[in-house]
């Protein structure tokens, strides 16, 4: 908002939500409402704010990007968050996805391995009043470093395989969504759902994300 309390980017958010997200098939009213509410321009570097509401990824530093609005919305809708959900996000990045999820979930726990991005996102989320978002600095391969399970897990960087350590954190009927594939080749969004003592997976669409870093790339095995 400007100094007079006027939200000068509200129309841009409405157009983004209508033209880039709803027009391409995202229908969940609560998801669309979150995209109209969160000030995306504050989550990108000042030098890129002129393109904050355009339909493409934007670099945020440290070799990372904020994903295009449609992909964020598509993943959010497929995650099927409800008001009682406790969500884990692997890869805080700019903090934008966590802000979107904060409108939909009871709690959002988000972890980032790059310290400068963690500090920047944590400060921004706190300054904007997202009090149900909790930020952590760390690898994320095994969660947030404390014994806690989650209703929903979202990974916003490409993993070479489904991380079994994270799938194990899903509660009964829990769901995880992540891009899986080569950092420089084919990737697809995959949904992982807990069914009893096992999991079921299904593929959605082809995507392109920056690679997930840390111990997952040093460990063999996995699904």
Active-site residues, by number, are 67
Instruction: Give the pairing type, strands 187-195 and 198-207.
Output: antiparallel
Residues 6+ apart with CB under 8 A from 97: 67, 72, 75, 76, 89, 110, 154, 156
Contact 36, 14 (CB under 8 A): yes
Contact 167, 200 (CB under 8 A): no
Residues 6+ apart with CB under 8 A from 111: 88, 89, 90, 91, 92, 135, 136, 137, 138, 139, 140, 143, 144
Neighbours of 13 (CB within 10 A): 20
> Among all chains, which residue has been given the structure tokens 């995880």?
176
Can you tell me the distance from the alpha carbon of 19 to that of 29, in angstroms, rounded to the nearest whole number?
Answer: 15
Enter the tokens of residue 185: 């080749």
Can you tell me the distance from the alpha carbon of 170 to that of 195, in angstroms, rounded to the nearest whole number?
Answer: 10
């Amino acid at each position: 908002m400007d100094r007079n309390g006027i939200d000068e980017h509200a129309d841009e958010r409405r157009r983004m939500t209508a033209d880039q997200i709803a027009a391409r098939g995202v229908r969940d009213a609560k998801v669309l409402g979150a995209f109209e509410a969160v000030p995306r321009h504050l989550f990108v570097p000042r030098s890129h704010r002129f393109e904050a509401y355009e339909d493409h990824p934007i670099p945020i530093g440290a070799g990372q990007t904020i994903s295009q609005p449609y992909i964020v919305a598509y993943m959010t809708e497929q995650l099927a968050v409800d008001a009682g959900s406790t969500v884990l996000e692997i890869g805080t990045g700019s903090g934008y996805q966590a802000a979107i999820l904060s409108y939909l979930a009871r709690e959002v726990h988000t972890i980032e391995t790059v310290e400068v991005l963690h500090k920047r996102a944590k400060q921004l989320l706190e300054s904007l009043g997202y009090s149900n978002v909790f930020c952590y600095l760390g690898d994320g391969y095994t969660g947030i470093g404390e014994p806690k399970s989650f209703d929903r897990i979202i990974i916003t960087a490409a993993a070479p395989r489904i991380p079994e350590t994270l799938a194990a954190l899903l509660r009964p009927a829990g769901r995880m969504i992540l891009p899986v594939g080569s950092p420089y080749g084919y990737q697809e969004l995959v949904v992982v759902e807990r069914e009893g003592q096992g999991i079921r997976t299904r593929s959605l669409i082809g995507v392109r994300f920056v690679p997930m870093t840390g111990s997952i790339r040093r460990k063999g095995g996995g699904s």
